[in-house]
Amino acid sequence: MLAAGVVAGTLYARYYAIDPDQIRSLVRTPAPAGHRGRPRPLAAGPTFGDLCSARAAAGPQPRWSVAGNGTVIEQAQILTTHNLATLVEAGVRPTRPWVDLARAAMDRTALLLRRAVGQERPLASIKDAAYAWRQAVFFLSLADPADAPAVIADPTVVDAGPAVMADLVAGLLAAADGRAGETAAGRVPFLGWTTGRHWVLDALRPPAGPTR
């Protein structure tokens, strides 16, 4: 897969626990019908869909649910970088430095989480914040390695949003230092979809009854 080559060895791969060699070894899912409408034989081995499902599963899952499907789709978006890697590989370059784009995406994350604090149904904003955060991590992975640490550690990033921003930055710093997954409550990586109660809800405000 093209994206695996772009993110190999980067902060993005460490933060999202991506093994490029594992992705390259996946079996391509054949088309449903071959020559003259004959079904193509399925090759043995895990497919991209299998990998996305395995990464999304964090415990017993219902056979089908909107949230369950959302966790799988989100993993597909993470592994493919939502096609950002395709643009990079094609030679597309932004008019602003990558580090500036990363900072803008981090600020957007903070804005969305701050907005979620006052919403009755904040999950949509939390999902959008996770997407913005993913773009920030990708842009940082393409930035000059000498510039990225200063952006991650900039205290104004945390100050721009609610307290939960400190958890996100701590997780990113841990990944940058090769300590991915060592932050409190297992909050690495920051994902938008979950089949249970989202941990960000409790970080934004204490639980006070059922949450929609």
- Percent of the chain beyond pLDDT 70? 80
Is the predicted pLDDT of residue 209 greater than 60, yes or no?
Answer: no
26 band by pLDDT with thresholds 50, 70 and 90:
confident
**pLDDT for the residue 182:** 52
Higher pLDDT pick, 108 / 203: 108
Is the predicted pLDDT of residue 185 greater than 50, yes or no?
Answer: no
Q: What crossing angle do the helices spanning 123-142 and 98-117 adopt, rounded to 10°?
A: 160
187 band by pLDDT with thresholds 50, 70 and 90:
low
What is the rounded distance in angstroms from the CA atom of residue 122 to the CA atom of residue 172?
23
Determine the number of helices (DSSP H) and then strands (DSSP E) in the chain.
Answer: 12, 0
Residue-wise pLDDT for 63-93, tens only, equals 678 999 999 999 999 999 999 999 999 999 9
Higher pLDDT pick, 207 / 88: 88
**pLDDT for the residue 212:** 47
What is the mean pLDDT of the segment spanning 2-8? 90
User: For all residues of the chain together, what is the average pLDDT?
Assistant: 85
CA atoms within 13 A on the CB side of 188: 26
Judged by average pLDDT, the poorest of 54-58, 109-113, 122-126 is 54-58
What is the rounded distance in angstroms from the CA atom of residue 206 to the CA atom of residue 176?
30
Give this prediction's pTM: 0.85
**pLDDT for the residue 85:** 93
CA atoms within 13 A on the CB side of 151: 24
Residue-wise pLDDT for 36-67, tens only, equals 555 555 556 788 999 999 999 854 455 678 99
Burial class for 95, CB neighbours closer than 10 Å (0-12, 13-18, 19+):
exposed
Higher pLDDT pick, 185 / 103: 103
**pLDDT for the residue 44:** 61
